[in-house]
Structure 1
Amino acid sequence: MEEAVADCVAALRAVADRDWEGRSAGRLEWTCRETAVHIAEDLIAYAGRLAGRHTDRYAPFEIALDPGTDNEGALQAIATTGALLAAVVRTTPRAVRAYHPYPFRHANREGFAAMGVAEVLLHTHDISEGLGVAYEPPAELASFALTRIFPHVRPGPTPWQTLLWATGRGELPGREPVTGWRWSNNPVLETERLTLEGVTPAAATDLAVGGDGGFEWVASGPFEGTREGAGITWKQYEEGVFRPEWTMYVLVRREDDRALGAMGFHGAPDDTGRVEIGYDLAEDARGQGYATEALRALTAWALEQDGVRKVAAVVERGNVPSQKVVARAGFTQVAEDDAHLTYELRELPG
């Protein structure tokens, strides 16, 4: 966050002596001056929602610059509100989520940081374009936003080109122009003891290469199946078929915010309305009913979605504990071969 704001302020300070009131900001209807104020408004709004733990509405305040504030003063407002958001992000516990309207009506600290970075980069671009000067931020900042709140966007030639295209501000070879867009924070489901947190492409790639994905794990996790699933998720992102809600979810125990394993879908439902689910628990978390609890919740959610007719699970023939999990969750065996048993649930048990 600090790097994005510093880059914005440095770029715009070089043109602070120009007329921001009389020039439109790129393709926006706002003037360059209004767009600069908007950056500060967004940063303080995100900080307020996250710090105040607002869960169902916007924070009930707004900011305004003092009459007579010049362009340098507007940049000071951006720097100050950016510092406030950065401080809130650093000090907010990982599990806290606050209100954001779409698509799942909440975001965590990383989501708010990514939204803040995106607002800063994109509107700095708009102002620069309106004033006729070039602007390109560090690639890692654009990548930070893309891999956290644009999971549905297939990577392009460079992160910055991709971010501009994804927000209707540029073109990419072989892709149709974007005329409407929204970013997407990760989905979250809750059970009695667990929070199921949808992984972002950033978390998936970190888990796939041996990292923790931004989670605190029990001693024996993450297990091998979780890392394999994360690799599949990252590949889906690279191919442009990642769908935030039909992804891998990390199972987090709420009492201590420890990750226990992962559960998720192999992809979006197919043409017949079938979706396949898989799961993996760290050894420390087995035998306590967590997998059954999570499977019931995720299956119930899936069957409530339009077009979903059945949820399938394919279990190794020798994996008796996993077979018991799907049975307890209401699945019925429908097929088998030499190595696997296939189970399905078509409707929730009464």
Structure 2
Amino acid sequence: MRDMGGERVQEAVAGSVALLRTAAGKDWDTVKAARSEWSCREAAVHIAHDLIVYAGRLAARGRTAHVPLTVTPDATAGNEGLLEAIETTGTLFTATLRTTPRHVRAHHPCPYFSANADGFAALGVGEVLLHTYDIAEALGLAYEPPAELAEFALTRLLPHVRPGPTPWATLLWATGRGTLPDRAPVTDWHWINHLVLPAGRLTLESLTPAAAADLAAGGDGGYTWAPGGPYDGTREASGMLLKAYEAGVHRPEFGVFVLVREEDDRAVGALGFHGAPDEEGRVEIGYDLAESARGNGYATEALRALSRWALARDDVHTLLATIDRANLPSQAVVTRAGFVRATPEEERAMGERREADGPLHVYLLSAPAGSSGAPTAGSSGPSAGAVPLRSAAAPRPGC
């Protein structure tokens, strides 16, 4: 998966400036941008402001708060001067994207408080497209950017939004700027950066639909993999995530997480859910590892971290893992992570639902007794799940 962030930002800025330059002789000071309290001039300044702020945050290499940067154009700058400011800040942002290592993250508040270069590139593209559209509409200009630009923003920042007839129409609808057949108008929205969780020697990075599509098609998803990775289960799970996204049922926080080794920024496997929790707060979990990464405790470390995160939520009460009976290494992993064997009745019920997977053991991990609505370990029945990630040590689907 080639890094396209800098190119996409450059393309978005060039298209915006080229269009707005055709209206540089119009009044931008008193005409309000569409759906905004800003004038067209203020909206143009906002585009330049976003681009330089995003560049500053990435250049700060991981600050946990806003970098105090802003754009204040010269009072004598006309509309052409504002366009030059957008071009300049776009060039600076593009250069920053191209020199920022993949693992570097910087502060952004919505909603998980950080983004990497790919995420910031998508933020920049989204802001340029949408505010250019607002200005253009107010000035009587027709604007429709290339589909690839709208899709770049959608698949990284709006992963819960079901694709519509075209990426641009979907982006406009999802941000309250347009309509789509059979969909209610959107009145409240925000960008969603992908979730990242610390896990000791690893970092768990949730897959965006863009990365999942690349992995499902045989690519690397934008990661450098340890030898033997990505394993087949990672590609299968990526395909399931992509199908959920296309159906509009993908919950990003209950998707697939890539296990990235801190010491060398290499992906060593994947861990994830088989969908959102059911009405009783039960959700199935699975994992796999590249062959070269097995035997180092990575799976246990990652499973513990994701389990803690999930069971701290109000909508998750019990985690479920189903493992081939002959897969002793995977059973040892879930046991070390605190899971316990389900009752024979629960295992029979799961076996009936997953007959094609062969004989299975079912393991459960529940929220501590006394939590709101939380069952005790082993008291919750298994839930149906999608095709699981393949187990780290088994050739058949398992935990």
TM-score for both structures, normalised by structure 2? 0.86
Q: After the TM superposition, which residues 109-148 of structure 1 pair with which residues of structure 2 at under 5 Å, given as runs?
A: 109-148=117-156
Distance 2:69 2:208 in 1: 31
- Could you tell me which residue of structure 1 aligns to residue 362 of structure 2? 342
- Could you tell me which residue of structure 2 aligns to residue 173 of structure 1? 181
Opposite residue 104 of structure 2, the aligned amino acid is V
Which of residues 7, 13, 17 is equivalent to 2:25?
A: 17
Change (3 A) 1:287 1:54: closer
Q: After the TM superposition, which residues 43-122 of structure 1 pair with which residues of structure 2 at under 5 Å, given as runs?
A: 43-122=51-130
* In the alignment, structure 1 residue 33 sits paired with structure 2 residue 41: yes
Opposite residue 314 of structure 1, the aligned amino acid is T
Shift of 1:27: 1.1
* In the alignment, structure 1 residue 161 sits paired with structure 2 residue 165: no
- Could you tell me which residue of structure 1 aligns to residue 270 of structure 2? 262
Q: Does the CA contact (< 8 Å) of 2:319 and 2:366 recur in 1?
A: yes
Distance 1:348 1:330 in 2: 12
Compute the RMSD of aligned alpha carbons: 1.1
Distance 2:83 2:40 in 1: 12
* In the alignment, structure 1 residue 273 sits paired with structure 2 residue 275: no
Distance 1:191 1:119 in 2: 32
Secondary structure of 2:86's aligned partner = helix
Shift of 1:348: 5.9
The Cα offsets for residues 286-341 of structure 1, whole Å up to 9 and x where unpaired, read as 11100000000000110000121100011112221111111111111114345211
Shift of 1:194: 0.1
Q: Does the CA contact (< 8 Å) of 2:282 and 2:320 recur in 1?
A: yes
Aligned length, in residue pairs: 349
Distance 1:254 1:56 in 2: 19
Change (3 A) 1:348 1:53: farther
Q: Does the CA contact (< 8 Å) of 2:110 and 2:192 recur in 1?
A: yes
Q: Does the CA contact (< 8 Å) of 1:221 and 1:260 recur in 2?
A: yes
Distance 1:66 1:49 in 2: 24
Shift of 1:54: 4.5
Q: After the TM superposition, which residues 237-316 of structure 1 pair with which residues of structure 2 at under 5 Å, given as runs?
A: 237-316=245-324
The Cα offsets for residues 159-197 of structure 1, whole Å up to 9 and x where unpaired, read as 000000000000000000000100100000111100000
Opposite residue 196 of structure 1, the aligned amino acid is L
- Over the matched positions of the two proteins, sequence identity in percent amounts to 62
- Could you tell me which residue of structure 1 aligns to residue 233 of structure 2? 225
Secondary structure of 2:83's aligned partner = helix
Q: Which runs of 5+ in 2 are unaligned?
A: 1-8, 352-357, 370-399
